Each structure stands twice: as C-alpha cells, then as structure tokens.
Chain A
Amino acid sequence: AQSVTQLDSQVPVFEEAPVELRCNYSSSVSVYLFWYVQYPNQGLQLLLKYLSGSTLVKGINGFEAEFNKSQTSFHLRKPSVHISDTAEYFCAVSRMDSSYKLIFGSGTRLLVRP
C-alpha cells in the first residue's frame, strides 16, 4: 500500500520569503508523484508532477519540487511567495499501474502574510 505524509499542517510565511512544503511517501512499488493546490471554496488544481527523468520538476505559479528517491521525499518549493499563494497544498502519489488512483496527504495550509 502507498501512503503520503505531510508533516506540517500549517506553514506561515511572510510575503516574498522562500517556502518549502514537505512531503514524504511510502510505497513498495514505483509511483508517480503530484502536488495539487486548493484555493478556498474551490477544487484541486494540479501544480506539478514527477513521472520520470529529471528529479527537479517545475510547475505553474513559480513552484518547483524535487524528487529524492533515497529519502522518499518530494518537497515543494517557491523562492518568493505572494499573498495569492495562500491555499491548501496536497501531495499525492499513484501507482504506475493504476495512475488514476491518487493517494493524498493530509494537506499543508500555506498562510502568506504581508
């Protein structure tokens, strides 16, 4: 079975500061990795995904994430956040043979303050 752990339930940060949202996963088989963002009262939107190849992947809105197989991590980063980045961020994994079945972490609320 697969599982995803997002250790930080909330991350407060000042505007224009860098941020890292942590994600660790557990799986006995190879997986795909995803980050989704959920703005208040909206559904989830895909930020970025890792399927294979370069371990550093870039997504929308200036976010990037790095896949680290040895540490089973897929941390999300942004060098300078904006107020508009305030949202809930979900890390997710899926098995390669059933990639539709997303297993989500519990989410991290990013709170950007002026």
Chain B
Amino acid sequence: DAGVIQSPRHEVTEMGQEVTLRCKPISGHDYLFWYRQTMMRGLELLIYFNNNVPIDDSGMPEDRFSAKMPNASFSTLKIQPSEPRDSAVYFCASSPGTGPNQPQHFGDGTRLSIL
C-alpha cells in the first residue's frame, strides 16, 4: 500500500517567494495533519482536516501560512511570503480517525530552506 506522499522532498528558495508543499494522504483516511519540525521548537501540529474541512488551525504560526484540502486525496500548505525562519521540515500525516487506536501515518517530509 502507498503511504502518505509528500512533494517536493526538498525545496530551496529565496525569502519573499511563495512556497507550496503538497500532500497525498492514504486512501480512505479521513483525517489529515500538517506538522513542522525545527531544532528549536521540535515537532508542532500546525493544522488538521476532517473530511477536507479544517478543524483546528490553532498551530498555524501566522497569516503567511495557509492550508487547503480541495479533495480527499490532496492537500497543500502554502507560505507567502516566505521568511528564513520558516526553514524546517514539514510533515504531512493521515489517519482513519482521531482515536488513540488509529495512529497517524507520516510522510517522509519536505525539507524547506529559505535563503
């Protein structure tokens, strides 16, 4: 079975540019999560969706960040304009539910570097 697929795996861009990260969840999983991993702050939940609807976006750092899920098989995380402090590894995860017996399956991440 295909796992969670993220693209690109690596992104290097200059500050001020728009960055779009993409995620394809596991088929049949109704929940999708976006995380950010940095040395300073560790792993943080940014936002999660249920059936394509954003439910909890309290972790989104600021208005420069936005996330969408136009259909059950695709989500994007966009940063506009990007800043050097946005450099991090961004993970997407999906799960069939939110209970503790329905663990989140993580993608391999997108390593983002903002110069």
Contact = CB atoms under 8 A, between A and B. Distances in A.
Interface of A: 32, 34, 41-46, 49, 51, 90, 94, 98-102, 104-107
Interface string B87-102: 0000101010011110
B43 A45 contact: no
Given A43-B4, A49-B100, A94-B100, A107 B106 contact: no
- Interface majority SS (helix, strand, loop, mixed), chain B: strand
B25 interface: no
B31 interface: yes
A105 B100 contact: no
B11 interface: no
Given A100-B31, A100-B33, A46 B45 contact: no
13 contacts: A42-B109, A43-B4, A43-B107, A43-B109, A44-B91, A44-B106, A46-B103, A46-B104, A51-B101, A99-B98, A99-B99, A100-B31, A104-B42
Nearest to B56: A101
A101 B98 CA distance: 9
B98 A43 contact: no
Q: Report the 4 A-B pairs with minimum CB-CB distance, sorted nearest first.
A: A43-B106, A100-B98, A104-B43, A99-B100
Contacts of B101: 51
